[in-house]
Structure 1
Amino acid sequence: MDKKTIEEAIKQAKENSPPRKFKQSYDLIINLKDLDLKKNEQQIDFFANVPSPTGKKKKIGALVDAGLKAEATKVCDIVISDDEFDRYAKDKKAAKKLAQEYDYFIAQANLMAKIAAAFGRALGPKGKMPNPKAGAVVPPKAQLQPVYDKLQKTVRVSAKTTPIIQLMVGTEDSKPEDIANNISSLYTQIIQKLPQEENNVRSVVLKLTMGKPVKLK
C-alpha cells in the first residue's frame, strides 16, 4: 500500500464527512478472508506499535508495591498499591469502573499472582490485564516513563471471532502525515501476522467516525 494512495484516502475521507460538533476519529477497517477463526493459530491478537499517537491520550494505571509507588505516581494516571488490592477484590463495582476508565495497566512482575486474583474478573473480559507482550509487566525497580510513552503508541489488533479489524489511526486534529504513517505501519504489521499475508485481505477502507468510507484496497 503506497503512501500516495493513503494520503489521497485521508484527504477524501475528510471531504466525505461534513463538520460535526465533536472531534471525529479516523478509523482503518480491514476486512479479512480465507481464515478459520475457530482455529487459534489463525486468530489475530497482538500489540502493534505505531509511529505517532492516534490522537486519543490513553489512560494508564499502575499496580505496584511500595517500592515502585513513588515512581508510578510521577508517571501514571492512577496508582493502586498492593495494600489496596483486597479492597478492589471485594468491591466489584470499583474494579469494573477501573476496567472501563483505563486503557492499559502497568504491573510489577512479582505481583502478577495477586493482581490476577484481585483484578482478573474485572480486567480479563475487557482484555486489560497487564500484558508482557505490550511491555506492561515490569521488574520491581523499573523506570516507568519509557513504558508509559510506549503504551501511548500501542494499539491492540484483534480478530478472534469475526474477520474484521477496526483501528483508530488518528483524529481530525492529527497531522495527515502522522495518520498516513500509522496506517502504513499497522498494515505492514498486520500483513506479517496473516498466514497468507495480503491474500487474506478482502478489502481495506478508511473513514471518519460519521463519514463515508474510502477504499484503500
Structure 2
Amino acid sequence: MARKLSKNVKNAKTLINKNEVLPLLDAIEAVKKAAFAKFDESLDIAINLNLDTRKSDQQLRGAIVLPNGTGKTVKVLVATDDVNAQKAAKEAGADLVYNAAELPEILNQDKYDFDVIVADPKMMLVLGKYGKKLGPKGLMPNPKTGTVTVTPAKAVEELKKGKANYRADKGGIIHASVGKKSMNTKALAENAETLIQTIKKLKPTTVKGTYVKNITVSTTMGPSVKVKID
C-alpha cells in the first residue's frame, strides 16, 4: 500500500515544479519557501556524477571548509598523547581532549557526547579497536577528511569554522549539507558553489564524457529542486 502523504508534504510539493531547472540561488530560495518542518532543516545538495566508484581512482571523498559555515555547532573530541598538541587543541576550541589511556572509558560508553573525533595518527591503534561502534555512527577519523592529522589544533579550527564532508556513494552521487534553512540564501549559495567547484576540480582523468550529470538541492524534509549546471 502506498504511503499516504501528509498535508505538509502535499502543500510543499505544490510549491515546486519538479520539471523546472533553476539557477542555484533561485533553487535554494525555492526549497526554503517549500520547507515546512518546525525545526531548522539542513540545506542539502546532491551532485550526480559520471563515476564508477568500483575503480579506486574514481572514489571521491574529502572535506572542505565552507565560506559561511554550516550553521551547526560541532562538538569535537581530540585524541592525542602529545601534551603540546593537547594544549593547542584546547586553545583552538576542542570540547574534549583525551590521551590513549583515557579513550577506552569514553569509547565504551553507550552514548557519545561529541560529533567528531580528531586523532593523532598514533591514536588509530586504539580507535581501530572500536571501528564497529564508531564506523556506523560516522565517527571513525579518516585522513581523507582531515580528522587523522599530526596538527589536530588546525583540524579543530576548521571544524569550528564550518567544515563539510563529501563522499560519492555507490551510484556516484555526492550528498552533503551546506548549511541550515535559517541562513541567508546568498550565503547558502556561496557554500554550495564552493562544494560544486571543488568537485569539478577533482574530476578523475579517466572519466570520459559528461562529468556532472545533474544537481539538486533540498531541505531535510522538503522536496528537491533541479539546479542549472553551468
TM class, shorter-chain normalised?
0.7 to 0.9
Residues 104, 38 of structure 1: alpha-carbon distance in 2 compared, 3 angstrom cutoff: same
2:133 alignment partner in structure 1:
122
**Which 5+ residue runs of structure 1 have no aligned equivalent?**
none
* Counterpart among 45, 62, 67 of residue 46 in structure 1: 62
- Is the aligned partner of 1:97 residue 2:114? no
**Contact (CA 8 Å) 1:45, 1:160: kept in 2 or not?**
no
* Counterpart among 20, 29, 36 of residue 11 in structure 1: 29
Letter in 2 for 1:83: A
**Contact (CA 8 Å) 1:62, 1:72: kept in 2 or not?**
yes
Residues 10, 108 of structure 1: alpha-carbon distance in 2 compared, 3 angstrom cutoff: same
Aligned residue pair count: 202
- Is the aligned partner of 1:206 residue 2:217? yes
**Contact (CA 8 Å) 2:61, 2:144: kept in 1 or not?**
no
Residues 115, 24 of structure 1: alpha-carbon distance in 2 compared, 3 angstrom cutoff: closer
* Counterpart Cα distance in 2 of 1:107 and 1:127: 14
Q: Which SS does the other structure have where 2:140 is aligned?
A: coil
- Deviations 1:159-183, CA, capped at 9 Å, x for gaps: 1422221111111221222101111
- Is the aligned partner of 1:131 residue 2:161? no
* Counterpart Cα distance in 1 of 2:208 and 2:62: 15
**Which 5+ residue runs of structure 2 have no aligned equivalent?**
1-21
**Contact (CA 8 Å) 1:63, 1:115: kept in 2 or not?**
no
2:49 alignment partner in structure 1:
32
* Counterpart Cα distance in 2 of 1:39 and 1:121: 25
Q: TM-score, normalised by structure 2?
A: 0.74
- Residue 150 of structure 1 and its aligned partner are, at CA, apart by 0.5
- What's the RMSD between the two structures over aligned residues? 2.8
Q: TM-score, normalised by structure 1?
A: 0.78
* Counterpart Cα distance in 2 of 1:143 and 1:110: 12
Give 1 or 2: higher helix fraction: 1
Identity over aligned pairs, percent: 30
* Counterpart among 51, 56, 74 of residue 72 in structure 2: 56
